[in-house]
Amino acid sequence: MLNLEFVKQFPKSSPYRVQQIGPPPSRRSRTVMPPIQSTYPLYPAATGVASTSDRYRRGLKRLFDLLLLATLAPLIVPVVLLLALPGMIAGAPFYGHVRVGRDGRRFTCWKLRTMVRDADAALVRRLQADPHAAEQWRRYRKLTDDPRITRLGRLLRRTSLDELPQLLNVLRGEMSLVGPRPLTAEELQDYGAARQAYLHVLPGITGLWQVSGRNALTLSQRAAFDMQYAHTLSLWLDLRILLRTARVVLQGRG
């Protein structure tokens, strides 16, 4: 179960601060958020977080990204080009959207196009016509039956193959292989106490919440996982998340 009490154990010199939102928790439940059940076990909080995490974050993590990227590029680039062919015929194989990165820097996050051309208008029409969809969007920022997604797009999203172009963002230093999901400015405003933790690390192609419940998690629960990752990141944690990601993709639960 997810418990944010571990945050209070960090020294006062830690760059993170926890802000309580809403009424204090009851004696029966001292967690900041309701406990959730995860398919995978949570990773234990590391000791000596500030020094260990900062050393890895400042240099070794970038080196790890580049080494793994150089190893996988000969295999991945042909796959991306093949998957982009249908979009090339339509004239727009890639989709770029502005996201917020480390230290609040904006960047264009790239994906294979999986949506119809008038995606924003299609979403507005669905939310206005369907109260259930509107509530689902408010809680999860996702829809089970999303009118914006094409048939090929559903396959690409289920296997997470639509995110392969983000390797370019990794190469440019805007993202990491592992980290919080890149957020829009609107989503970041809803992150509450986890906002500063998110801004302290590079967003990633995959991350802790993506292998710990994924689409079943609410936005607040994903924020809690991102906060935990920011406080406990290490090479060992990144390796475990990458292995879990491969398992999720192969099972078609992306």
Report the range of poorest mean pLDDT among 8-17, 118-127, 142-151.
8-17
Residue 72: Cβ within 10 Å count? 13
Query: Which pLDDT tens digit goes with each residue over 163-178?
Result: 999 999 999 999 999 9
Does a structural domain hold residue 23? no
pTM score: 0.71
At residue 161, does pLDDT exceed 50? yes
CA end-to-end span of the chain, whole Å? 22
Task: Give the domain range for residue 219.
Answer: 51-114+149-249
Residue 17 in tokens: 């601060």
DSSP state of 206: E
| Structural domain contains residue 130 | no
Q: Considering the domain boundaries, does residue 41 fall inside one?
A: no
Number of domains composing the chain:
1
d(CA 177, CA 163): 11
Residue among 31, 18, 30, 50 nearest 221 (CA) = 31
Residue 22 pLDDT exceeds 50: no
Query: Is residue 76 situated within a structural domain?
Result: yes
